[in-house]
Amino acid sequence: MPKEKKGNAAAPSATKGGSRLPDTQYTGVNAPNTKTVVVSAVLEITGQVRFGDGTDIATTITEKDTVLGPGGSTCEKAIWAGTKRRGVDRRTIHELRDRLGWKGTCFIPELCCECPICWLYGFTGTTQKKDINAKSRVLYSTSVSVEEFARCVNRHSRNQVDEKSQTTAGAAGIHEEEVVVGGTHFPAYTSLLHVLDWEIGAFAHAFLEDINQNRYTAASRGQGGIRFAENNQDPILIVDESPTGVFPLSVPKVPAWETDYAKVAAVFASHHSSSPSLIDVQSTLQAQGFAVEGDTKRLTARAGSTELIVEAAENFLLVRQGSDELMKRYYGNQALGYLKQKQIEFQKALADPTWRDGLRKEVGAYAAAIQKKEPSKESTGATSPEPSTNPKEGAPDDGTGSSE
Ligand SMILES: [Zn+2]
């Protein structure tokens, strides 16, 4: 079944107007051999960060939301908006793209609509130069803190010091800001739809380096940090990969109202082990109505005429139906290894002038084909590629330390 896949759901208008749009091979936008990947992680603040939600009089505030719990209870949680993660990631990818030799000017908010990243992260014709849209194929979910807002956000005042007199600037110079404190946890999910290996790598580069280099913060002073939360020294990170977009094992998700980190860790731990275990998979499939038999290395799950095979391979779980691979699941350090490998694929592709030329020609032809099909420029429901909020606040500086 994977071979027959046509009509890319993430493509702007893959099969509109009868005739098909050209297949692509450099970009996944209409490529026949793409994958869908879901990256799930628990991220832990290591020291004061601020995601930025504007300024309220003299206070820089952190976004919060009331979430609903069981029995009509409510609680307030800190919010890490997906659009903010996306803004930081995109800037980081742009930076490496340009360093690797891509010619052209493309930055937030002036996107070029012609580069590999525009065709991965999306652009809208209404705000950019071209009369076409590309939906982002990287979807960032908004994260809700595990800990309650009152516990995980602190208010600090910043005194502006006069360098010459060594005095503080007085009341007018005091500014308050809300920061998310160390030890706060955010479960974070990202879906990469219909992507090629280098495209997984572009996201992987941003995700890993933005964590590694502490870029996910809008605070201009005291760059706080973020790390992967750990479980027995293994990062809480799961990468699910499917050639068709069908995932028999779903992502472990945490309810927004949960405030007990031990329970959150347990949700991931039950899906997580340094060597893949089939015990949890067995109970999951049984709960779904499958008759399951097998051992610790291989399970067969049957329901009606459906037969799934789950195998514990060297460093991932494989689920297949007959000879068709349905999904692979990588855990912890193996998931990290997967992302690092893809990160290198991204660098290799972008550093290759032949590849860059090929991509440029391909997206040019593809854009022309879309334009012909959309004379009236109907809305394709494309999501705006970038947040419309003040980019400086919404998506903090690109890590050059120039944010003032
Ligand atoms: Zn671009």
Tens-digit pLDDT profile for residues 284-310: 889 889 999 998 889 999 999 999 999
Q: Does residue 278 or residue 271 have the better pLDDT? A: 278
Confidence class for position 387, pLDDT limits 50, 70, 90: very low
Whole-number percent of the chain with pLDDT over 90: 57
Neighbours of ion ligand 1 (CB under 5 A): 106, 111-112, 115, 118
* Three-class secondary structure of residue 246 per DSSP: coil
Q: How far apart are CA 187 and CA 299, in angstroms?
A: 29
Residue 396 confidence (pLDDT) above 90: no
38 CA distance to ligand 1 middle (Å): 24
Residue 55 confidence (pLDDT): 67
Strands 230-231 and 174-180: unpaired
Asked if 201 and 28 count as a contact pair (C-beta separation under 8 A), the reply is no
220 CA distance to ligand 1 middle (Å): 27
232 CA distance to ligand 1 middle (Å): 41
Confidence class for position 57, pLDDT limits 50, 70, 90: low
Of the candidates 127, 143, 217, 215, which has an alpha carbon nearest to the alpha carbon of residue 179?
217
Average pLDDT over residues 68-87: 95
129 CA distance to ligand 1 middle (Å): 11
139 CA distance to ligand 1 middle (Å): 18
Other beta carbons within 10 Å of 130: 17
Residue 296 confidence (pLDDT): 81
Side by side, the strands of the sheet bearing 59-60 are 55-56, 59-60, 174-180, 153-159
Q: How far is CA 282 from the centre of its chain?
A: 29
Asked if 158 and 144 count as a contact pair (C-beta separation under 8 A), the reply is no
